[in-house]
Amino acid sequence: MPTRAEGGTMTTVQRWTGLETRALRQALRLSIKDFSAHLGVAERTVSKWEAGQSAVYPRPEMQAALDTALGTSTEDVHERFNVARYAVQGDQRTLAVPATADSMCGLTAVYQSRCDLTAAIPADQLFEGARVVRAVGLSLNVLCQDYADRRWQELLERNAHVRCLFLDPDGTSIQSREREEGFPTGQLAALTKLNIETLLRVRDRVPVALRDRLELATYDETLRFNIILVDDLCVAQPYLGSNRGVDSPAFVMRQGQPGVGLYPVFEQVFESQWRGRRAL
What φ, ψ does residue 155 adopt, rounded to 5°?
Answer: -60, -45
% of residues, the chain, pLDDT over 70: 86
- Distance from C-alpha of 24 to C-alpha of 40, rounded to nearest angstrom: 15
For the beta carbon of residue 179, count every other beta carbon within 10 angstroms.
10
What φ, ψ does residue 43 adopt, rounded to 5°?
Answer: -60, -40
- Distance from C-alpha of 39 to C-alpha of 8, rounded to nearest angstrom: 24
| pLDDT (average), residues 125-150 | 91
- Distance from C-alpha of 232 to C-alpha of 150, rounded to nearest angstrom: 24
How does pLDDT run across 251-277, given as a tens digit for each residue? 998 887 666 788 999 999 999 999 999
pLDDT at 12 over 80: no
Sketch the domain layout of the chain as residue ranges.
2-86, 94-279
111, 91 in Cβ contact below 8 A?
no
Residue 97: the pLDDT is 38
Output the pTM of the full model: 0.65
How does pLDDT run across 30-40, given as a tens digit for each residue? 888 888 899 98
One fold for 2-86 and 94-279: no
How does pLDDT run across 220-243, given as a tens digit for each residue? 998 888 999 999 889 999 987 766
Q: 168 versus 15: which is more confidently predicted?
A: 168
Residue 257: the pLDDT is 67
Residue 195: the pLDDT is 94
DSSP code of residue 192: H
Residue 187: the pLDDT is 93
Strand residue runs (E) in the chain: 2-4, 10-12, 94-96, 107-111, 132-136, 161-167, 214-219, 225-230, 233-238, 250-254, 278-279
Coil, strand or helix at 136 = strand
CA nearest 225: which of 136, 112, 143, 163? 136
Question: How high is the mean pLDDT of the chain?
Answer: 83
Residue 4: the pLDDT is 43
* Spatial CB neighbours of 239, under 8 Å, sequence gap ≥ 6: 138, 177, 223, 224, 225, 226, 245, 248
Cα 115 to Cα 104, 178, 250: the distances in Å are 23, 20, 10
- Distance from C-alpha of 120 to C-alpha of 110, rounded to nearest angstrom: 11
In our burial notation (b when 16+ CB lie closer than 10 A, e otherwise), range 206-236 reads beeeeeebbbbbbbeeebeebbbbbeebbbb
Q: Is the domain covering 2-86 a CATH 1.10.260 domain?
A: yes
How does pLDDT run across 62-108, given as a tens digit for each residue? 888 898 888 888 888 888 887 766 653 443 333 343 444 455 778 88
Q: How confident is the model at residue 3 (pLDDT cuts 50, 70, 90)?
A: very low
Question: Which of 55-64, 193-202, 243-252, 253-262 is most confident?
Answer: 193-202
Please state which CATH number belongs to domain 94-279.
3.30.870.10
